Amino acid sequence: MRLRRTLLGRLFIEAGWSPVLVFLFHLILSFFHVYEAWAPTDIVLHIVGGISIALCFHNALTIFKERYDAIDFTMPVHYLLTFSLTGSATVFWEFGEFLADRILNTQVQRGLEDTLLDMALGIVGGSITLSVIYFLKCHNAATIETRNNK
């Protein structure tokens, strides 16, 4: 049981903190009606949401790969899986908005175009994250190789 708590704790601390933080920020912005006061807030937050979700999945997959030797996939598979999970998360977020509109009458979704834009922005945010991570890994590997050749 202690092992499981350790894994869950590590997953939250190293992976889950970013989407939780973005969601709390979303709740604060909603409470203070910032979305109504400044329309681009929605765009920015969907990009940031995609960034945080991709970071979460990337870190979680890295933790599972370190933890379980049986999970051993190549870097392209890791990135493809992270991208796919991020895209799925954006779809489920929009499902949640749809249900909130229907059940709680929140009127968050402003039509099909808004929903598709929100999903696209989340995927763009995830792509930004994966691009930055890839660049940093390549840059780090090149730096280590340069140091070793000196």
Look up tokens 């392209």; give the residue.
76
Smallest CA-to-CA distance from 60 within 18, 94, 15, 98 is with 15
Q: What is the pLDDT of residues 19-54, one digit of tens each?
A: 999 999 999 999 999 988 998 999 999 999 999 999
Distance CA 26, CA 10 (A): 24
The domain tally of the chain equals 1
Q: Answer for the pair 79, 62: CB distance below 8 angstroms, yes or no.
A: no
Supply the pLDDT for residue 143.
Answer: 74
The answer to whether 118 and 42 are in contact (CB under 8 A) is yes
Q: What angle do CA 126, 7, 130 make, to 5 degrees?
A: 15
Going by C-alpha positions, the residue among 18, 38, 16, 20 that lies closest to residue 29 is: 38
Domain range for 62: 2-149
Cα torsion through 14, 126, 97, 95, rounded to 10: -100
pLDDT per residue as tens, the chain (150 positions): 454 567 788 888 889 999 999 999 999 999 999 988 998 999 999 999 999 999 999 999 998 888 877 677 788 999 999 999 999 999 999 999 999 999 999 888 889 999 999 999 999 999 999 999 999 988 887 676 666 776
Ramachandran assignment for 107, one of left (phi > 0), alpha (psi -120 to 50 degrees), beta (any other): left
Beta strands in the chain (DSSP E): none
Query: Nearest Cα to 115, choosing from 30, 54, 46?
Result: 46
